[in-house]
Chains A and B, each alone.
Chain A
Amino acid sequence: MFKQKENEEKTKKKEITGNDLANIINQAKKSSDFTSFSPSIQEEKIFISYYISLVDSEIIQKVLLPSIIAKIDEIQSLTELEAIIPLENMSVTSDEKDINVKLNRGYIFIQFYKNDSKGLLINLKNAETGTRQSNDTENEFSVVGPKVGFVENLQTNIFLLRQKFVASNLVFEEITVGDISKTKIAIAYLDGITNPQYINTVKERLNSVNLGVVYDSSHIDQVITDNSFSVFPLFLSTERVDRATYCLELGQVAILCDGSPYIITAPSTLFDFFISPEDYYLPWVMGSFLRIIRIFSVFFSLFSTAAYVAILTFHYEVIPQDLLGPLIGSRINVPFPPVLEVIFLELTIELLREAGARLPTKVGQTLGIVGGIVIGQASVEAALTSSVLLIVVSLSALASFTTPIFKMSNTIRLIRFPLILLAAMWGGLGIIVGTIIILAHLMRLKSLGNPYMVPFYPFRIKNLGDTIIRSSYDRSKKRPDYLRTLKKFRFKPNPKKDIKEGLDNE
């Protein structure tokens, strides 16, 4: 009885001191890939906690657990336990920060009784997971920066993300979707940063999804989207780990789908689709330049062929005097009106693109050369198109491929066609009408209930810093207001420490 009281007192004390440790473990427990259990059946003498996705479960099952269970009755303290376990890289610590960081790095944490403030940390990091050879980011290529992309395995994808965040507030919540496939879908967010409204919205939408089989994350994307009539992608989907990390850091929600190498992030704005990770790896002036080129190419791709049709059909006045000669000279033998000519060539390019996408890479390249050079040249010589148009159409096709996100570049190529038809009907007026329809549609769109055109509509002047230009890191330390994050600052830049003073004293 006396002993019991003493024990009670001890545990009380330890509860107070072990408060932070319990918090850490409770926080980590929010993630579905975190586990803590006791190997013995009778009493919870030993407590083991770790992230399943990070550690090598084979070692735990074949080496760790047998050695503990064999001598579980004899163990009286942590040091004894340390002597029993036949593994290296062990340390006893009570430093909560250390425990927190190491848990996230693939250590397992063993406590002697649940409320002990001390614990044994063993490095069991699984080095093999995530090192698959074929997860290069081929579809969202970037010259600078990491080339690791997500793969088809959810555990690996979680591992890849967790590698970037050594923080326990990165939480993965798992939801099973699909009556037949029972696909595991993980919602990732930064706890205490991401606005809970977005998390709840995503959860609600995912829970109400009624599907048999989930094929891919883009399948989920279409089902939970705000407006399924829109040609614009409302959620960003990426295979790049760094891009997903960036979105999470800003305070967006990521949706990982088992069996899909593409991760959906939401809420997205229109300008998110024209960001390339390279913008952030190069100096901000360079990054801004690249981004301006990308945005310019969107406009060029949308309007150049439509403008060609409108000008050649209705507004000959705006053609510069010196251009009239070449333009008319190249068109004089073409029997079709400009619209048919343009549609003929645009369809040719679309055919080439589609055929190139369906064929194996090497055949696709050959096809590109055959199509681009032979068909282009031959159609000009056969007087089916004019050579000026050939330049315009191929430039606009080229421009449409500069958009980093595949879904968005498809959208841009698609909405070109109605613009061409409108231009053929009403000339410049038609282009204006088409632009107004597109703009009105864009302004009504919402992504997870967040306006799609923000910060341009509704206008938020303070958040313009990272849209058309990519301003320097000193200026973009805050998270954008429209994401309504719980914490404002992404980071606090250090004041610059110059070595000038030291040199002056030399």
Chain B
Amino acid sequence: MNNSTIVNIFLRKIFKFILSFILLTALAGCSRYRVVDQIKMVDIMGFEQGNNSADSKLYGGVIIHEYSMGKEEDVLTSIMSYGKSATQTLSQINQKSPNLLEIGKTQVIVLGADFAKEQGIYEVVHSICRNAKIGANLKIVISEEPLSVFFKKLTELDGNFLPHLLEQNMIHNILPESNMQTFLYNFYGIGRDAYIPYSTITREGDIVVKKLGVIDQNSKLKLLLEEEEATLIKLIQDQSKEIFFPVPIERDGKEGSITLKSLRGKSNLKSNHHDIVLLRLKLDTIILDYPEWIKLPDDYAFLEKEIKNFFKKRYQELFKKFQDNHVDPLGIGDIYRSKNKNWNEKDFYNKRYPNLKLESTIKIDILQSGVGEDTYE
């Protein structure tokens, strides 16, 4: 190899390198240039019913964290606007902001209760969740109050209040865990319906998320589940079953209530190919509070039986409620679909679902009943 060929090869290499560089620049040409302090990050987004006119079908708002004020104090501002669709509402809101709004760090989407009941949430969910910037860990919540009231309350509080409130309640309390991903799975999945936490403002002015709203097949809010029912769903759906549960008991005409804390457990939903849904639930529990006339540990067997009967009864009632309202948040349709090749959603929910029976096998283990008890006399 003489010198000129070496130079030639070298030049060709450099040419290739420069060419790939130019091509890559072209590829990245439309990349978004967003310096972190030149944008406004949306914390919470909300949508509800707008006016009757076509141009303002939706009413939306965002809550923005104003980090520029310094790290000591959190300043929250909310901007509201009307719009045709979710995306259009956001762009209307953006016009009112001095900086570009970025929805990549949105933590919660709030949906108005009336809006969810009457108009249905399909369009909003469809347009928001297809945005690639939206994170998977986003939470969705339905607000009983109108958006303006709810947002006014939120801006008075800490910026992370609502996301942390939801998360805390999902991990340690009664709410079944859900985020954008699980919600979309339930929402779009065949043979199952989505459920969304439902927030209210109490008379004292506290934001409370205790209820669970169930979305039916027309993507409208159909059913509201109370605290106890939400817990029953959590016991089936969640891995973590660490919750408190009050159980009423009765013996010899005496009435009382014990507080149960479940530590861990297993749950399983199955079908037996016929019209019976099998629920298996096993819980390891601690008894925290109990009435005077219960003597522990002698009454363990009695309590276990009472708790078992209580759960059985409650699950029957809950299932009945779902059947009456034509919703399926437990995903029973999906269980039958997985067993039957000719499964048809319409047929199943019209003909078969109302006739299904729930058969629950519940096993309760009481591990402890507190300390300082002198049971030996």
Q: How far is the CB of A311 from chain B (nearest CB, A)?
A: 8
Which B-chain residue is minimally distant from A313 (CB atoms)? B35
Give chain A's interface residues, CB within 8 Å of chain B. Answer: 311-314, 316-317, 319, 321, 324-329, 331-332, 334, 337-338, 425-427, 429-430, 433
A324 to B43, CA, bound (A): 12
Known: A312-B35, A314-B33, A316-B102. 15 other contacts (CB 8 A): A311-B36, A314-B31, A316-B34, A319-B105, A324-B67, A325-B65, A325-B67, A328-B68, A329-B67, A329-B71, A332-B67, A425-B28, A426-B24, A429-B28, A433-B24
A312 vs B105: C-alpha distance when bound (angstroms): 14
- Using known A-B contacts A316-B105, A317-B133, A321-B160, determine if residue A337 contacts B35 with beta carbons closer than 8 Å: yes
By secondary structure, the B interface counts as loop
Say whether B25 contacts A328, CB under 8 Å. Answer: no
Q: How many cross-chain pairs have Cβ atoms below 8 Å apart between A and B? A: 64
Interface residues of B in 57-95 (CB under 8 A from A): 65, 67-68, 70-71, 74
* Chain A residues positioned under 8 Å from B104 (CB to CB): 316-317
Contact A331 to B28, CB < 8 A, known contacts A316-B102, A316-B105, A321-B160: no
In the complex, the answer to whether A313 meets B67 with C-beta atoms within 8 Å is: no
Q: How far is the CA of A452 from the CA of B239 in the complex (A)?
A: 49
B239 → chain A closest CB, angstroms:
25
Please report which residues of chain B, range 24-45, place their CB below 8 angstroms from some CB of chain A when the two chains form the complex: 24-25, 28, 31-37, 39, 41
Q: How far is the CB of A337 from chain B (nearest CB, A)?
A: 6
Residues of B whose CB lies within 8 Å of any CB of A are: 24-25, 28, 31-37, 39, 41, 65, 67-68, 70-71, 74, 102, 104-105, 107, 133, 135, 160
| Interface hub of B31, B35, B135 (most chain A Cβ within 10 A) | B35
Interchain CB contact under 8 A, B135 and A328: no
Nearest chain-A residue to B104 (Cβ)? A317
* Cβ B35 vs Cβ A426 within 8 A: no
CB distance from A269 to the nearest CB of B (A): 25
Complex Cα gap A433–B28 (Å): 12
Main secondary structure of the interface of A (DSSP, over half): helix
Min CB distance A340 to B, Å, is 11
> Is A327 in contact with B68, judged by CB distance below 8 angstroms?
no
> Are A317 and B105 in contact, with the CB atoms below 8 A?
yes
Q: Which residue of B65, B67, B107 has the most chain A CB atoms within 10 A of its CB atom?
A: B67
Contact call B71/A326, Cβ cutoff below 8 A: yes
Interface residue from A329, A337, A426, A429 paired with B70 (Cβ < 8 Å): A329
- A316 near B107 with CB under 8 A, answer no
A-B contact pairs, 29 of them (CB 8 A): A312-B35, A313-B33, A313-B36, A314-B32, A316-B34, A316-B36, A316-B39, A316-B104, A316-B105, A317-B105, A317-B135, A321-B107, A324-B36, A324-B65, A325-B65, A325-B71, A327-B36, A328-B37, A329-B67, A329-B71, A331-B36, A331-B37, A332-B68, A334-B37, A337-B35, A425-B25, A426-B28, A429-B28, A429-B31
How far is B24's CA from A319's CA once the two chains are assembled, in angstroms? 26
Query: CA separation between A42 and B28, bound complex, in Å?
Result: 87
